[in-house]
Amino acid sequence: MSKALRLSEKWFRRGLWLVAVVFAGFLIGLGGTIVGDLPKVETPLQMDDFLDKPVAQALREQVRTAQQAQQDAQAALEQAQLQRSKARSESQAARETFNNWLAARSVTQRAEHDPEVLARTQALDALKQAERGTQQAVEAQQQALLDARQAAAAAQQQLNKLESAASEKLHAERRKVELRVFLYRLALTLPLLVAAGWLFVKKRKGTYWPFVWGFIFFALFAFFVELVPYLPSYGGYVRYIVGIAVTALVGRYAILALNRYLERQKQAEALPDQERRKELGYDVALARLAKNVCPGCERPVDLKNEAIDFCPHCGIGLFDRCGHCRTRKSAFARFCHACGTSSQKAGSAPTLPADPA
């Protein structure tokens, strides 16, 4: 249709479309801010809200105490192992020295060395006893470490069970909160979509059409971008069912609209030629002619063929002759392109008589 508009009108329309887009942009920004703030109406949920707090606190304290005991036992065990290693090293060195001394004594066979043998043997026994003491200390610390680990594991296991049950409750409650927030969004966006549909049907060609289209763009964006991504899934059932319902509604509307359009076309094609011309708007007729389709039935027609003056599909006149200069012109033109005579004043005929020889 833009080919049938005046140059200034084209630019005015482009400017008004820009107004519609800018208006929609501000509305989308406002709507996005409101939709983004909707979750704030719900209180944030935490796991502690669903725990038996005294029991959970006691278990956590047990875990901390057992872990601290485990750390202390580990440090004490390392010290005990170090002492055992030192005692073993001293005992081993003393035994090697004693063995060397015994080897030297067996060569000399001196009796005066017998008391020293007893003394050295007693010293070795004392070192061995000290080594066994360090070994017992290591075993005691190992036992303490094991007890601390088992106590920490038992307390942690009980705490995990408690937190697991609380986590399930938290997840279920969060699903309910998500559903409520979605319903808030739906309560906000669905009326906008309904209002946009009413404006599209009733007001899209009115005086303030840029604001109407801006609101329509905003409503579509709010519904399909701000709402649909937050649509609850529940394993895909909800989204697929909603998709089927929306597709069915849109498809039904399209089918009914097509049937109504075809019925109107049949009724229009049954009217006389002059009445059909009155039903067609001037700009609409020119826009369809610019697309090389019949203004009456919208079927393709070869308008460059000068032998075609009527639509071969519906019979509406496409070309006639000027009543003043007899020039062949478009039957929908208001003025003759050759002499400028008004078609209404000259009384252009719907048929084309033969050119005078």
Closest-CA residue to 320 (of 292, 274, 310, 311): 310
Give the Cβ contact number of residue 262 at 10 Å.
10
Q: Looking at the structure, tell me whether residues 242 and 280 fall in a common domain.
A: no
Same domain? 28 vs 99: yes
User: Looking at the domain assignment, is residue 189 inside a domain?
Assistant: yes
- pLDDT tens per residue across span 83-102: 888 877 777 777 777 676 66
Count of structural domains, the chain: 3
Helix locations, the chain, DSSP H: 7-37, 53-108, 114-202, 209-224, 237-269, 273-279, 282-290, 343-346
Per-chain mean pLDDT for the chain: 80
Q: Taking the complete model, does pTM exceed 0.75, yes or no?
A: no
Does residue 352 contact residue 327 with C-beta atoms inside 8 Å?
no
- CB-based contacts of 133, cutoff 8 Å, min separation 6: 87
Name the residue range of residue 204's domain: 1-232
Residues 33, 46 within the same domain: yes
Pair 98, 243 in one domain: no
Residue 164 has, within 13 A of its CA and on its CB side, a CA count of 6
Query: Beta strands 328-330 and 319-321: pairing type?
Result: antiparallel
Sign of the four-CA dihedral 75, 81, 82, 84 = positive
* Residues 282 and 250 both lie in one domain: no
Q: What is the pLDDT of residues 10-52, one digit of tens each?
A: 778 888 889 889 998 998 888 888 877 777 777 777 777 777 7
Residues 248 and 118 in one domain: no
Per-residue pLDDT band for 103 (boundaries 50, 70, 90) equals: low
pLDDT score for 105: 61
Return the pLDDT at 214. Answer: 92
> Which string of DSSP letters, residue by residue, matches 103-129?
HHHHHH--GGGHHHHHHHHHHHHHHHH
